Each structure stands twice: as structure tokens, then as C-alpha cells.
Chain A
Amino acid sequence: MKDRPAALRDTAIAAIALIVVLAIPLLHRSPAFEDFIIRLSAMALFATSLNLLVGNTGMVSFGHGMFYGFSAYAFALTMQMTDLSLPVAAVLAIAITTFASLCVGAICVRLSTDYFAFITLAVQMLFYSVIISWQSLTGGDQGLRGGIPRREIFGFELSSQLHLYQFCAVVAVLGLLALRHISQSPFGQTLRMIRDNETRASFVGVVLWRARLWAFTIAGAFAGLGGVLAALFVSGAYPELADWPNSGQAIFAVMLGGINSFLGPVVGAAILLALNDVVNRFTEYYGLVLGIVILAFALGLRRGVLDFLRLAWPKGVK
């Protein structure tokens, strides 16, 4: 009885957000803002997918960036080396990324928390080294150059900034809606059981490794979706996308925005990107400023923005 309105409410919020974002360029064109939203779309999917592991399941992965980067390379390479259309290449790239995260997950998820974090980081570094060394395929540390051909989807020309903006907004909102659905499904509840008390979860009949592997694979798939958007934005792929500081960015986004709120990582990603843009204008010591901000959150609020607001006003904030 209560389920339908909740699902409807989520869809309504998503629809309103999408309409607002799509309406803004009609009223006022601002390349900087459009750039921001495009980058935010990729980052929001990346960070929210990570939070499926961190916040929902209690699995802290330090290597989530590998799937973001993997998908960006898979997509850009498919576009350059085949004649497939953009949607087909995107779906293919995400499918390959999903399979990759299934394989990596199969190795990692049986390990306990600390070792899980370590091994995800280790696999990521291995993957990063492959990108750097396999110059003939990936362009090495220069990144994959040559651009992405046939940047069009259903008649939309994505080399136009406005169209890319619209495309990214739609994909991000749909992707987030799908993640929201997953976190509200019985499976999402199972992940919370594992986070809260894995012993009890196993005694009510949950097969822990299978649930964790599913979560890891799904998270990898949605990071892959973010990676495709990132590849479109940079018109190629760079090793930095798959490097560990990028995984760190996603963890920062999750922590800044709030680990226990669904939209927390989106807010965190926005804060992080805005901070990056503003700070870089005034100083080259971006890392210093970021560090201070994170310390302020960790020591002051002791939780992310949305979690803090939810605690301050228990009713009202989602």
C-alpha cells in the first residue's frame, strides 16, 4: 500500500529535477555552468554507485575508479575502432565493464573489510599500470587521443555542448533513479542487513558472498555508465580516470555529501567539483584547501552534509 506513493515520489522528484536542469539553458546560456553539470553527471553516477558499496553494504572499495576508467577506455576504443553507433558502443562498454567488475569482485568480496579495501586498491593499480604500459592500444600516459567519432544519438549532435548537457542530464537522472530503485528493493534491504550485522544476515538465510558480489557488480556497472559520460566530455580517455586519486575523489564525494542519504554522494560530488573550480581560480594549492574542508567536515559536522541536515531536521529532508 505504502510502496506505490514512495516510488511515485522518487520518480516525481527525478522528473522535476530533470525539467529544471533542462530548462536552465533555455533561459540563460552559461558554458561554465553547462560544463559543470556535464562533469557532475559523470561524477554523481560514479560516487552514488560507490555509495551502494560504502553506505549501503559497508564495503569500502578504494579501487572503484578502475571501472570508471575501464568503461571510458572501452567506450572510446569501441567508437574509434568499430563503426558501431554511440548507443550500441555505450551499452557494449558498460556490459564489458560489468563483466570486469564481476571478475574483480569474485576475487575481492570474500575478503574481510581491511583486505577488501587493500585488494581493490591493488587491482586498480595493476589496471592502471596496464593502461600506462599498453601504449599501442591506450596511448599510454598521453591518454587516448584522436577524439570520439560519430558523436550523435537519435539525431542529437553531442559535439554541441548544449546537446551533450541535455544527454548527460537525462542519463544521470535515469541512472540515479535506477540506483535509487535498487537501494529501495528487497536486495537493497539485504545489503543494509549485511552492513548492520553480517552474522545475523547469514543466519536469516542470506548468502553473504553472493549478495556482496551482486552489489560489487552493480556498482561497477553504474560507475561504467559514469565513465561513458566522462569519455564523452573529455572526448577520449585518460589514465587519470582509472587512477587511485580518482577513486579517492569518489570516496570524498560520498563522505562530504553523506553516506546514509541516497542523494548524499550527488551533493558531495557537486561540492567537490565546485570547490575545484573556485579554488583553482585563486590558488594552485587545491589539495591544501580540499584537505581543510574535509577536516572541517570530519571534525566539525562528523558526517556528510545531507546526513547532518537529516539529523538536524529529522522530518523534511530525504
Chain B
Amino acid sequence: MKLEINHLTKAFGGLKAIDDVSLAFPSGSLSAVIGPNGAGKSTFFNLISGAFAADAGEVLLEGQDIVGLSKAQRTRLGIGRAFQVASCFPTMTVAENLMAAVTAHVGRWGNLSRRFPPPGVRERAEEVMELVGLTKARDVTAAILSHGDQKLLDIAIALALEPKVLLLDEPTAGMGPEERWRMIERVRGLWERRKLTLVFIEHDMDIVFQVASTIRVLCYGRVLAEGTPSDIRNNQAVIDAYLGTEAQAT
């Protein structure tokens, strides 16, 4: 699904965290959002997913303005997200995490008449585990999973809700170099298989330039630049504000 942002604005007190941002993410695109710390990247995701209410502007999902909708409604329409700090249900096993997510997604979270999980839910959870490669950890409690697997589980929970647009806030945060690449390859695989519109925030420029087809650069809440990796690499404003000498060297 196509995601289009028009003149989105959000201020915290006097600080404009997102200042008149307009961006379009075509259906099935794979884009990265980059920018220095405090540029407003996570706020941008929070506004799209409904965690924060926008002060002004539109968020159009396939042409429909969703800016007034709740988190739950946006999730239902197909906006999924994973968090910078892996966000799952720590006392539950991997399977229970996903079954609980699927149960909520099929609208059964308030069901009192039967035992958990409702029929069909287990199978859907198994599918998602297979997809992200967590099947072996099925019965492991989420709290004791490795950091990387917790990040995967976070993404898996988002996938269990059958998103059309998936927002990943630093999927490789806190990982070593090799693990980062494994993770991002997995993410790319998911994007291909599920035909997602995928947007991710990333700090590792090697990953960004190699994986993303389009890159958006945020700086002080504004769009500094957007374009293909080679456009961005040679954009003087981006180099000055963010990439510095590092990118010129590569």
C-alpha cells in the first residue's frame, strides 16, 4: 500500500520535532530514513503509527487519511511497526507472544468463552515463526532470548498482524557487524516475500546504501534530502549535516 505524508507537524513544547514533512512511500518500496540523533526519525514513526497525535498534516494510507485514527485502528488498516528497543511480552514464550498477537489481530482479544488460543491461531503463529526463523525458539520465554532474537520477535509480532506498511525503528540496533547483516538480509527477504511497503531507520551507512532503494534524510525535523543512494551520497547538504567525511571516503 502506498503511504503518503503531507505537511506533517509535531511540536513538543517549543521544539518542532517534525516540521512540515511531506514524503511519499510508493507501494512495495524499501526505503531508509536516516539522520543525526534527535532529527525526529522515531517521532516520525510514532506519528504514522498513532503513538503521538499530530499537530497538523495528513497521513494517507492508499489515499485514506488516517491521522485521526487510534493505534488499534491503524494497525487494523495495515500499519505495522517494530521498536528501537525490542518490544515483546517478556513472560510469554515466543509461540505465546505470536499467538496472543494473532488473537488480538483477529479481534478475539476479549473472548471469554473458550481457552487460549482460539482455533486457527496456532497455525498462523507457526507460519510467522517459520517466516522469521524463530521456530526453534518456539518454547523459549521471550525474556531470555538473545538480543537479536528479541528484535526478530518484535518484527514477528508486527508481521503477525499482516501489515501492508511496516515501520522498523533501527532493526539492527545493538548488534555486532555480522549480526547486523544477517538481520538486514532477513528483513529484505521479508520485504520481498510479503510485498511490503517497508521503511526502516538505520544508522549503519553501509547497510543503508546497499539495501535501501530510496533514502530520506531528516534533520531537525525537516526533510533535508531524498533520493537514490547515489543521489544522497553526493548531496552536499547531507554530507555537511550528517555523513561528514565518512561517506566521502567510501
Measured CB to CB, the residues of A under 8 A from B are 3, 6-7, 181-182, 184-190, 192-193, 195-197, 199-207, 210-211, 214
Contact = CB atoms under 8 A, between A and B. Distances in A.
Contacts of A3: 114-115, 117
A193 B103 CA distance: 11
Interface residues of B, number: 37
Contact of B92 (A187, A196, A206): A196
A211 B90 CA distance: 19
B113 A190 contact: no
Q: For the complex, would chain A's binding face be called helix, strand, loop or mixed by DSSP majority?
A: helix
B116 A188 contact: yes
A47 to B, nearest CB: 21
Contacts of B218: none
A203 B89 contact: no
Contacts of A7: 115
A187 B114 CA distance: 9
Given A182-B112, A186-B116, A214-B110, A204 B91 contact: no
Contact of A189 (B76, B88, B96): B96
Interface in B40-54: 49, 51
Q: For the complex, would chain B's binding face be called helix, strand, loop or mixed by DSSP majority?
A: loop
Given A196-B90, A199-B87, A186 B71 contact: no
B100 A189 contact: yes
Interface in B98-132: 99-101, 103-105, 107-118
B61 interface: no
B89 A205 contact: no
Contacts of B91: 192, 195-196
Contacts of B104: 190, 193, 201, 204-206
B164 interface: no
A160 to B, nearest CB: 36
Contact of B100 (A184, A199, A204, A214): A204
B105 A204 contact: yes
